[in-house]
Structure 1
Amino acid sequence: MWKMPRRFSLTGRLCCFPKDPLDDVETWSESVDKVLSCKAGQIAFREFLKSEYSEENILFWLACEEYKKTKTAPEMISSANRIYSEFVQTEAPRQINIDCSTRENITKNISQPTLASFDSAQKLVYSLMARDCYPRFLKSDIYQGLLRRAASR
């Protein structure tokens, strides 16, 4: 799973970013996809979700994106079990908010995971972020502060 760079600051350039992370800030208001397709956007949105105690949503979404890139069966089984135990199972440390039938379906099939094992849950979480969290993110101090910084350069 992708981890936030330790030295990252949304105000400056780092070696892991080919351009200034603030270059894309204005485009983030176009869609949640614009935020999620950019590392700096993911970091800012994650910080916002953390402030709302719902960071598990983006962490689960990112874990699913990485999971879909899995190449081998042993790697898939290991990753599926990690995602399941961290986000899906009842009482998971970062339990995501999904309906019972989606949770039960994943639980029933976790012993034989496929690349699509978490698709339904990922869609639900994406929808929740897009419909609920994203509009608040755009109004947040975090996003508004980044917009001001980008505009003042």
Structure 2
Amino acid sequence: MNAGQVALVAFLKSEFSEENILFWLACEEYKQTKSTSKMIEKSKEIFLEYVKVGAPKEINIDCGTRENITRHISTPTLNSFDHAQKIIYSLLAKDCYPRFLKSDIYMAYCQQNER
């Protein structure tokens, strides 16, 4: 993660919603997977960590999206999480990120990077 992402994660942790950016980043990493066996392994990790009902860092997505991912988890593709990732991106862009830009964490990040 770069310094800006670290600052955003810190802000989201303070709001108890860091699962959103962590899921989005995990999906970006997942899309770079080259081998089928690694793709299956990583998709299950993402599913268990973020998508499954009751997951440790369960993301807030609609039940249809969650069910679709669940139905296809045994045969993942590099696009398996695209719809959920778009939902989370929209949530971050419209809700969390504007608040982050007004936060003390962001102000401290900007001051630190002016040097």
AA aligned to 2:103 is: S
Residues 122-141 of structure 1 aligned to structure 2 (within 5 Å): 122-141=85-104
Q: Give TM-score, length-normalised by structure 1.
A: 0.73
Question: Structure 2, unaligned stretches of length 5 or more?
Answer: none
Q: CA deviation at 1:148?
A: 3.0
Matched residue, 2:83:
120
What percent identity do the matched residue pairs reach?
A: 63
Structure label with greater radius of gyration? 1
- Give the whole-Å Cα distance in 1 for the aligned partners of 2:111 and 2:53: 41
Matched residue, 1:88:
51
Tell me, yes or no, if structure 1 residue 60 matches structure 2 residue 19: no
- Give the whole-Å Cα distance in 1 for the aligned partners of 2:56 and 2:87: 19
- Count, aligned residues: 115
AA aligned to 1:132 is: D
- Give the whole-Å Cα distance in 2 for the aligned partners of 1:107 and 1:116: 14
Per-residue CA distance 1:36-55 (angstroms, 9 max, x = gap)? xxx11111100000000001
Per-residue CA distance 1:85-104 (angstroms, 9 max, x = gap)? 00000000000000010000
- Give the whole-Å Cα distance in 1 for the aligned partners of 2:104 and 2:5: 16
Q: CA deviation at 1:144?
A: 1.2
Contact 2:4 2:109 in 1 (8 A): no
Per-residue CA distance 1:14-61 (angstroms, 9 max, x = gap)? xxxxxxxxxxxxxxxxxxxxxxxxx11111100000000001001100
Higher relative contact order (CA 8 A, sep 6+): 2
Tell me, yes or no, if structure 1 residue 97 matches structure 2 residue 63: no
- Give the whole-Å Cα distance in 1 for the aligned partners of 2:51 and 2:60: 9
Contact 2:39 2:77 in 1 (8 A): yes
The alignment yields a C-alpha RMSD, in angstroms, of 1.1
Structure with a larger share of its residues in helix: 2
Contact 2:20 2:59 in 1 (8 A): yes
- Give the whole-Å Cα distance in 2 for the aligned partners of 1:108 and 1:101: 10
Q: Give TM-score, length-normalised by structure 2.
A: 0.96
Question: Structure 1, unaligned stretches of length 5 or more?
Answer: 5-38
Q: CA deviation at 1:146?
A: 2.3
